[in-house]
Structure formats: structure tokens, C-alpha cells
Structure 1
Amino acid sequence: MRIAILGATSQIAKDLIVSFSGNKDTELYLFARRPAEVSNWLASVGLSEYYPANEFSEFPKIDYEAVINFVGVGNPAQAVALGNGIFEITEYFDNLVLEYLCQHPHCRYLFLSSGAAYGGGFTEPVTSDTRAVVNINRLEPHEWYGVAKLYAECRHRASPDFAIIDIRVFNYFSHTQDINARFLITDMLRAIRDNVELKVSLDYIVRDFLHPSDFYKLVCVLLGTDAINTVVDCYSKAPIDKPSLLAAMRDKFGLRYDVNEVDPSLNSTGNKPYYYSLNHRAADFGYKPELTSLEGIVIESGKLIK
């Protein structure tokens, strides 16, 4: 299968590329705004001879069987820095693919959306019956990212003749994560690395971290299904709450932490107590995750710490 990867500089895209490198039946074409960065990374992981890194101007020139669009932001700091530019960048590259589908209607399109598309406060996990909530009269900057994804999803459902599947990613972690990014898990890993005590807030949160191997399984089953226009939520075998994660990181890696009222993390898309999904529609296509959130975090944290 010939697959175009858009946004090949993103962490999750790079992990998927590495996963695909063991699949002899796929031919990847990588596209990025900074192709030199992709070329350097390919050399660092020994894949230079496998895949070329291209400018986006080359994208329309090849006949693909599938396109996977990762273009966006990868961490909270990037989201804050990009600001309202997230609307323009999301629409521009989505249009690029939609125009390609008009000329190649047989092509499948996987779009990396986000759980943030649901909006709201996530006071409970979302389900197949959850409605998106947009405070249209008081839209805050931290909601722009989710609204941009929601708008893209709406456009995709309005094109039912195209084989488009939106993949809502909630939480994802691998050893390739930038340890300087402002996430709870990376805050933990920096504290372990630097042998310092981590200050964590009292708030109770539950997260569902997807492992790269399960994400690869999900992408493969979606590429192999009959042509359909729909959306799926990402999920692991089981989510994990913050107290259990802190205790596990203490027991496995020696994390020292102090629970207090201060929250030093960066919440670019707002506070979300239960930011995960019970909408397991992906199971209808044959997706069955193998790892729980904790199992995946322990595996990848061990690699990163080494």
C-alpha cells in the first residue's frame, strides 16, 4: 500500500513510520514543512534508504492508496505559541488532502483529530452519546485547538462519498517524547532524571495513554477496513488515575513527589479531570489494544530513562 504521511516531523508520526518500517507491504512517502529535519531523523534511526522526505509541493504528484494527516501541534507549549494560527494550519492541510481526494476518490484519508474536539470540561469520560460542547459566546484561547479539530471533522462528515476516518487521540506516550514538554508524565521523568522531588497538585485526574504499538494496530485495521466515512476514539486496554500513576512511577523508577495545592503544569486546552473515552467504536473494525496505560508507560519510561 502506498501511504502519504503528512506532518512527518511529529512524534506520533515518527513512531508510526518506525512501526511501518517492518511492514514490507507498505511504501511510505513522507511530507513536512521542514523536510531536512525529517531526513536527519531518518538517518538517526537508520531509515534513510527506506523513505524520502519531501516538500508538500510534491504531494499531489503521486497516486496514493491512503493519506494520514498528522499536521498540527504536539505539545501544550506549541499550542500556546501557535495561538489562533491553529485554525489556518489545520484548514490549509486538510484542504490539501480533500482536493487530492477529489482527483483520487479511491484514496483513503486518516485524519489525526483530538479528544479536545468534544469540548466541555470532561467531568466524566466521553461515550458514543457525548455531545460536543462549544461555548460560542465566550470562546477562550484554550478552546481553539479543539474547535479547529471539530470543524475539520464536520467538514469530513459533510463529504460522505470520501473514505475519511477521523482518529481522536486523547493521550499518547512513547520513549521518543520530548522530555522537556509540559505534561505530567514528562514532569515525572525529569524529576526522576534530575533526582529531585516533584510538586504535584491535589486534583484527581484519569488519563488513557495509548502505546505506539496499539496505535499502529489501530491504523492498520482502519486502513484494511471497507471504505467508510466515520470517526473513532483512541483507547488503551485500561486508563489510569494520577494517584496510581504516581505510586507506580515511585515503585518502578524511584520517583519522589509531594502532593500540594500548586499545579505547575501547562494546561493549554483547559483542565480535564476525566480526559478519556469509553466510545470503543474502533472495536467494530477489529481493534483490540494489548497494553493498559500503565503497562505502556512503564515500558516506554524504562526506555527513555536508559
Structure 2
Amino acid sequence: MRLAILGATSQIATDLVLSFAAQSSHDLVLYARRPEVVSQWLTSRGLVGRYAFADFTAFSADEHFDAILNFVGVGNPAQAAAMGASIFDITLKYDEMAMHYVRQHPECRYLFLSSGAAYGASFDVPVDENTKAVIAINNLQPTDWYAVAKLHAECRHRALPQLPIIDIRVFNYFSCTQNISARFLITDMLRAIRENVVLKISSEYIVRDYLHPSDFYKLISALLCSPAANAAVDCYSRAPVDKPNLLTVFEREFGLKYEITQASNSVNATGNKPYYYSLNTRAANFGYQPALTSLEGLVKEMQIFLQGLPRDFFGK
């Protein structure tokens, strides 16, 4: 298959490219706002000449693609908070770029990287196939912009049921290529381990479901190989993990030092989410079966990172 990767400098996109390089013969074209950075990354990974790359301006309806994968967006809470309402324009611009192509080539599949945040800001319980998106329409806050932008894109996609568009809602994702300056719980823990300092962490009970890069690749491959459909799927591992278990394992395996406090110093860009994961296993209908639990995937990637193996080019 010939695939167009939009937003090729994102962490999850580069992880997927590495998986494609190792496990498939797909022909990829990597599009980015900074193609020179993509070129440097390909060189650092020994992939020079393997895949073409270009600026977004080179993306054309005259090219042939079997599928478009849109990774344009933000994966960092602090960045999402800083972008504010501009997230609407950015999401719409590149979504429309892909939609324009698919309208002209309806046989081309379009995979859009959405987010669990599309369900809204309330995750007092995990979501499932019956959960309704909840948006405080009369009291919208800056923490809603990211969620509403994703929900808006998904609504546009469902309004064209004749086109093969699948929205992939990512909840939590971690790999050893993670930029550890990002303000996530896991990166806060990783910095504390690396710097041998005590992590001050809130007493808030949370449950998360972390997707491993290998399972994300399995999901993408399953969606590309299945009969064309217009749908949305939620990402999930073999089992989620709660914060107490995560702290216990990281203390035992990696020497994490932590102190429970009442206040939280984390960046909250999209609202509080005690149970930010999904029980919606619709992806199984496309042949997806995760191999790793959240904890297994986290430990595996943390071991690679802490062993000092080569870091991702973008995770400086």
C-alpha cells in the first residue's frame, strides 16, 4: 500500500513509521511543516532513501495513495494549553486537506488521529460504546477546546458515511521515544527516576490505559486490512493500570522516590479525568487484539529508556 503520513514529526507518527519499516513493505510519503527535520530523523534512523518526504504544500490530489494517516495535532498538555482556541483552525486545516483528497478518491482510506477527549471532560467512570459526549455548551472553558476540535472533526467524518474514514481515539500512549519535557504523569515519574529526586504527586486516584507502540501498529494494520468502513474506534491495551499500582511497580523496578501530597503540579489542559480509558472494544471487530497490558508496555519502554539506548530524534 502507498500511505501518506500527515504530521510526520509527531512522536506517535515516528514510532509508527519505525514499525512500518521493520514489519511491512508499505510505501510511505512523510509530510510535515518542517521536512528538513524529517530528513534528519530519517538519517538518524538509517532510513535515508527508504521513504519520501515533503512539505505539506507538496500534498496533491494528483498523487496516488491507498490511505492517508493524519497525525497533525498536539500530544503535549502544556502545548495544548498554550495553543488555546487556535487548535480549531489547525485541526480543520489539515483535516480538510485529507478530506479534499478522499472526496476526489473515495477508494482511499482516511485514518484520523482523534482523542478520548472527544467524549468530553467528564471521566468519572470509564467510557464505553453507550457513552455520550458531554460538552458544557453554555459554559465552555479553555480546557474544552482540544476536545471540541476532535469532536467537530469526528462529526464531519460521520456526515460522510459513504467515505472510508476511521477516527482513532487515543487515550494514553507511551514509548521510549517520549519527549520527557512533556507534562504527563509518566514523564514526571521518568524525570524523577532519571534525576534521582523525590516526585511530589497528588493523592488523586486515577486509572489509565497506556497503549504500547507495537499494539498501536497492530491496530493501524488491522484497520488498513479490514473492509472499508466509516467508523470510530477507541484505543485500548489488554488491561488498564491505576496510579497506586503504577507507583508500587515503578518504585520496585526503577527506584522511583515519591511523596503523596494534596496538591497537584501537573498540567491540566483538557480537564480532570479520574478514569481516562475506554471499555469500548469496537476495534476488535476489525481484527485488533492487543498483546500487552498497560503496565507491561510501560515497564518495557521504561527499561529501554533507562538503559540509555538511542533516543528519538524529536524527544530531545
The TM-score, its normalising length taken from structure 1, stands at 0.99
- 2:132 is matched with which residue? 131
- 2:170 is matched with which residue? 169
- 1:38 is matched with which residue? 38
In 1: Cα distance, 2:38 partner to 2:82 partner:
22
Aligned pairs for 1:189-268 (under 5 A) are: 189-268=190-269
In 1: Cα distance, 2:24 partner to 2:166 partner:
24
- 1:75 is matched with which residue? 76
1:53 aligns with 2:53: yes
Q: What is the SS of the residue equivalent to 2:157?
A: helix
Q: What is the SS of the residue equivalent to 1:282?
A: helix
Report if aligned partners of 1:119, 1:134 keep a CA contact under 8 Å in 2: yes
- How far apart are residue 24 of structure 1 and its match? 4.2
- How far apart are residue 39 of structure 1 and its match? 1.1
- 2:29 is matched with which residue? 29
Q: What is the SS of the residue equivalent to 1:22?
A: helix
Over the residues paired in the alignment, what is the CA RMSD in angstroms?
0.8
- How far apart are residue 109 of structure 1 and its match? 0.3
Question: 2:13 is aligned with what amino acid?
Answer: A
Report if aligned partners of 2:117, 2:171 keep a CA contact under 8 Å in 1: yes
Report if aligned partners of 1:163, 1:228 keep a CA contact under 8 Å in 2: yes
Question: 1:100 is aligned with what amino acid?
Answer: Y
Alignment deviations for residues 199-221 of structure 1 (CA, whole Å, 9 cap, x no partner)? 00000000000000000000000
- 1:14 is matched with which residue? 14
Q: What is the SS of the residue equivalent to 2:51?
A: coil
- 1:88 is matched with which residue? 89
In 2: Cα distance, 1:24 partner to 1:237 partner:
24
- 2:111 is matched with which residue? 110
Q: What is the SS of the residue equivalent to 1:258?
A: strand
- 1:302 is matched with which residue? 303
In 2: Cα distance, 1:215 partner to 1:55 partner:
25
In 1: Cα distance, 2:24 partner to 2:187 partner:
34
Alignment deviations for residues 82-102 of structure 1 (CA, whole Å, 9 cap, x no partner)? 111100000000000111012
Report if aligned partners of 2:205, 2:243 keep a CA contact under 8 Å in 1: yes
Alignment deviations for residues 182-205 of structure 1 (CA, whole Å, 9 cap, x no partner)? 011001110011100100000000
Alignment deviations for residues 285-304 of structure 1 (CA, whole Å, 9 cap, x no partner)? 11000000000000001111
How many positions carry a matched residue from both structures?
Answer: 306
- How far apart are residue 120 of structure 1 and its match? 3.2
In 2: Cα distance, 1:111 partner to 1:19 partner:
18
Question: 2:87 is aligned with what amino acid?
Answer: I
In 1: Cα distance, 2:218 partner to 2:151 partner:
24
In 2: Cα distance, 1:77 partner to 1:144 partner:
13
- How far apart are residue 23 of structure 1 and its match? 3.5
Alignment deviations for residues 18-72 of structure 1 (CA, whole Å, 9 cap, x no partner)? 0000244300000011111111111111112211220112211411000000000
Unpaired runs of at least 5, structure 2: 308-316
In 2: Cα distance, 1:25 partner to 1:185 partner:
33
Task: Tell me which moved more, 40-49 or 104-113.
Answer: 40-49
In 2: Cα distance, 1:302 partner to 1:265 partner:
24
Question: 1:102 is aligned with what amino acid?
Answer: R
1:4 aligns with 2:31: no
In 2: Cα distance, 1:202 partner to 1:11 partner:
29
- How far apart are residue 238 of structure 1 and its match? 0.2
In 1: Cα distance, 2:56 partner to 2:246 partner:
40
Report if aligned partners of 1:125, 1:275 keep a CA contact under 8 Å in 2: yes
Report if aligned partners of 2:246, 2:295 keep a CA contact under 8 Å in 1: yes
In 1: Cα distance, 2:143 partner to 2:127 partner:
19
Question: 2:207 is aligned with what amino acid?
Answer: V
- 2:281 is matched with which residue? 280
In 1: Cα distance, 2:88 partner to 2:37 partner:
24
In 1: Cα distance, 2:36 partner to 2:81 partner:
25
Q: What is the SS of the residue equivalent to 1:16?
A: helix
Report if aligned partners of 2:121, 2:144 keep a CA contact under 8 Å in 1: no
Q: Percent identity of the aligned residues?
A: 61
In 2: Cα distance, 1:301 partner to 1:185 partner:
10
